[in-house]
Amino acid sequence: MSEALVDLRRAGRVGVSAVLLITLSLTALGGFWLLSLNLGRAVVQWRDRVRVVVFLKDEPTPSALADLTSRVEGLDGVHRVRYVSKAEALSSLRQSLGAQSGVVDHLPRNPLPASLEVTPAEGATTPEATRALAAKLAAFPETEEVQGGAEWVEGLARWQRLFQVVALAVGAVLALAAILTVTTATTLVLHARRAETEVMRLVGASESVVRVPQLLQGMVQGLLGAVVALGLLEVAYAVGAPRLEPLLQLTLGLARAVFLSLPQILLLIAGGAILGGLGGLLARGRAVA
């Protein structure tokens, strides 16, 4: 390890550049990961809130309602059915109008229909499943109209997947640049210590003894880059999250943005070490060649 640290000092500016590039690539990767992570939470949250609403032609009698509810509950992909009477619908409208709720009192009669709020079962919240459920519900003779579905949630999920792809693409390009820079830094060090390497080989040092310092040097660069990247992400989160949270609440319904979990942080650090180590190994290959 001490050899590796001495070598890193020998690498000078190229070594620093390698650390910076690893920092950049892991910061970009981590940044996209954070976005994707929070979008993913929104998707899960909204998937839980998917409802299909069946507006009824007439307010059913208690026995007709029991019969209708049991028929709806008997359909595949239905988790729960809740009846919303005309009166309850009006009361909800009044609540959501807030200060303007007086408008409702001027209506000659309650114009809102009674409805059934159908919660799809887990696994049946995809657009296809909700469309199929809506079609079945629309075929009921009591049904006036069916609304709701999961299209927009899937739109959100598509954004999340897009973020993941962009994160991987940007991360991969920067990671490649980082690996090449570590390779260059390690190759320079190898060149500087070629006399040492020659003596090591001549006296019979095993290849692992010859190569481990190069591997460790790369890994140290990777670890340094990962730690700095995490520091930057942490600062960006601490500064940005409180400012973004009201917007997230309004648009995505997320009360707060979360940071990477401990396993994710460890994964990012390991990623840095692997990037650096890979650079070190490639340098060895070039030096041997």
Partner 1 sequence: MIRLHRVCKLFQGGPMKLPALNDVSFTVDKGEFVVLSGASGAGKTTLLRLLYADEQASEGDIEVAGFNVTNLRRSEIPHLRRSLGIVFQDAKLLAGRTVFENIAFVLRVLGAARHEITPKAFQALKAVGLSTRAQAYPAQLSQGEAQRVALARAIVKSPALLLADEPTGNLDEEMAGEIIDLIKDIWSRGTTVLFATHQSRLAAQLKRRTLRLDSGVLTKDEG
Q: Looking at 44, 87, 107, 199, which residue binds partner 1 (CB under 8 A)? A: 199
Those residues with Cβ within 8 angstroms of residue 58's Cβ, 6 or more apart along the chain or in another chain: 114, 142
E-state strands within the chain: 52-56, 78-84, 115-120, 143-148
Q: Looking at 117, 144, 196, 234, which residue binds partner 1 (CB under 8 A)? A: 196
Token pair listed for 257: 């943005």
Per the CB < 8 A criterion, the answer to whether 140 and 81 are in contact is no
Residue closer to partner 1, measured from CB, 191 or 201: 201
- Binders of partner 1 among residues 226 to 285 (CB under 8 A) are none
Nearest to 84 by CA among 101, 59, 108: 59
Please report whether residue 5 would count as binding partner 1 according to CB under 8 A: no
* Least Cβ distance, residue 19 to partner 1 (angstroms): 25
CA 42, CA 159: separation in Å to the nearest integer?
11
* Least Cβ distance, residue 129 to partner 1 (angstroms): 58
Please report whether residue 289 would count as binding partner 1 according to CB under 8 A: no
CA 241, CA 40: separation in Å to the nearest integer?
16
Which residue is it, tokens 């001027």? 106
Residue closer to partner 1, measured from CB, 145 or 207: 207
* Least Cβ distance, residue 210 to partner 1 (angstroms): 8
Please report whether residue 195 would count as binding partner 1 according to CB under 8 A: yes
Nearest to 156 by CA among 237, 35, 242: 35
- Binders of partner 1 among residues 31 to 90 (CB under 8 A) are none
Per-residue contact flags (x/-) with partner 1 for residues 201 to 220, judged by CB under 8 A: xxxxxxx-xx----------
Residue closer to partner 1, measured from CB, 7 or 142: 7
* Least Cβ distance, residue 195 to partner 1 (angstroms): 6
Q: Contacts by 188-194 with C-beta closer than 8 Å and gap 24+?
A: 188/10, 188/11, 188/14, 189/7, 189/8, 189/10, 189/11, 189/214, 189/217, 189/283, 190/214, 190/283, 190/284, 190/287, 191/287, 192/10, 193/7, 193/10, 194/287
Stretch that binds partner 1, among 34-42, 180-188, 193-201, 278-286 (CB under 8 A): 193-201
Per the CB < 8 A criterion, the answer to whether 187 and 283 are in contact is yes
Q: How far is CA 216 from the centre of its chain?
A: 32
Residue closer to partner 1, measured from CB, 10 or 94: 10
Please report whether residue 198 would count as binding partner 1 according to CB under 8 A: yes
Token pair listed for 240: 């940005």
Stretch that binds partner 1, among 30-38, 119-127, 182-190, 199-207 (CB under 8 A): 199-207
Residue closer to partner 1, measured from CB, 59 or 196: 196
Per the CB < 8 A criterion, the answer to whether 93 and 112 are in contact is yes
Residue closer to partner 1, measured from CB, 156 or 281: 281
* Least Cβ distance, residue 207 to partner 1 (angstroms): 7
Residue closer to partner 1, measured from CB, 201 or 256: 201
Residue closer to partner 1, measured from CB, 162 or 209: 209
> Where on the chain is the footprint of partner 1 (CB under 8 A)?
195-196, 198-207, 209-210
